[in-house]
């Protein structure tokens, strides 16, 4: 991989798409595509990003709209979340990853919520790489919840109280994290679908036809090389 000096993104976010298409392509049950990503790709990409020195990587793993999928598929995905918590979370923590979650956790079963909370707490002092999973996440939903939190916690009766971008940002799920420099979407779709609507103001986008189960470290390198050729003016 050849990068221009100083062009490595600080935060890479991945919209993981194409799992079902991958399964159909390989004549496998739908859940096989999701399983391929959980059991292989995510850890590979985390390891590679950490090796390169990228301090933040985020994966959109389950959207607020994904609950509408067939019941057996949703049930299978929940099973994979439990597998990830049981088999992979502790391993990532041992490698120095700090685990975070964005999204509305209240919709998940209690054991999943508790498992996530446990590993987030255990990893909070790790500094090698911050790995964030967007679960039951939608950009509009995040903004609405942030406003609800802000109104509840701020003294809104004061004449000097005002909504500002900085103030609202403190109540977003991503508070304390840098906005993504690079957002990758796999499987050929060229839209955000509501992902990080607030945070993506000046993000660079990289769209690839590669299905997520096939998006490996080499594919990440290609995205990073493309990113290194961009000129980021941030409105200037």
Catalytic residue among 17, 141, 179, 181: 17
Q: How many CA atoms lie within 13 A of 9 on its CB side?
A: 32
Catalytic residue among 5, 19, 66, 173: 66
Both structure tokens of 112: 């999943």
**C-alpha–C-alpha distance, residues 138 and 101, integer Å:** 13
Q: How many CA atoms lie within 13 A of 23 on its CB side?
A: 14
User: For residue 17, with 0-12 CB atoms within 10 Å meaning exposed, 13-18 middle and 19 or more buried, which class applies?
Assistant: buried
Collapse the DSSP code of 54 into the 3-class scheme (helix H, G, I; strand E, B; otherwise coil) and give the result: coil
Q: In this structure, how many other beta carbons lie within 10 angstroms of the beta carbon of residue 178?
A: 13
Query: CA distances (Å), 219 to each of 34, 48, 161, 214, 223, in order?
Result: 18, 11, 47, 8, 6
Asked whether 143 and 172 are in contact (CB, 8 A), the reply is yes
State which H helix or E strand residue 184 sits in.
strand 182-185
Token look-up 């998940």 returns 108
Name 207's bridge partners.
185
Q: Based on the residue annotation, tell me whether 66 is a catalytic residue of this protein.
A: yes
**C-alpha–C-alpha distance, residues 143 and 187, integer Å:** 27
Q: Active-site residue numbers?
A: 17, 66
């Amino acid at each position: 991989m050849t990068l221009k000096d100083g062009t490595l993104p600080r935060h890479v976010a991945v919209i993981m798409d194409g799992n079902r298409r991958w399964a159909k392509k390989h004549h496998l049950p739908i859940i096989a595509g999701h399983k391929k990503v959980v059991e292989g790709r995510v850890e590979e990409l985390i390891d590679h990003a950490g090796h390169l020195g990228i301090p933040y990587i985020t994966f959109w793993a389950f959207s607020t709209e994904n609950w509408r999928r067939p019941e057996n598929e949703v049930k299978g995905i929940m099973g994979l979340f439990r597998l990830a918590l049981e088999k992979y979370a502790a391993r990532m923590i041992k490698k120095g990853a700090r685990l975070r979650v964005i999204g509305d956790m209240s919709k998940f079963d209690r054991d999943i919520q508790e498992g996530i909370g446990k590993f987030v707490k255990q990893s909070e002092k790790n500094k090698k790489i911050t790995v964030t999973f967007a679960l039951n996440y939608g950009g509009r939903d995040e903004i609405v919840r942030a406003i609800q939190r802000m109104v509840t916690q701020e003294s809104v009766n004061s004449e000097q109280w005002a909504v500002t971008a900085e103030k609202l940002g403190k109540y977003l799920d991503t508070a304390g994290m840098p906005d993504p420099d690079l957002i990758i979407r796999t499987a050929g779709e060229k839209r955000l679908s509501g992902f990080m609507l607030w945070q993506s103001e000046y993000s660079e986008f990289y769209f690839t036809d590669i299905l997520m189960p096939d998006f490996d470290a080499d594919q990440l390198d290609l995205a990073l090389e493309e990113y290194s050729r961009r000129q980021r003016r941030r409105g200037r």
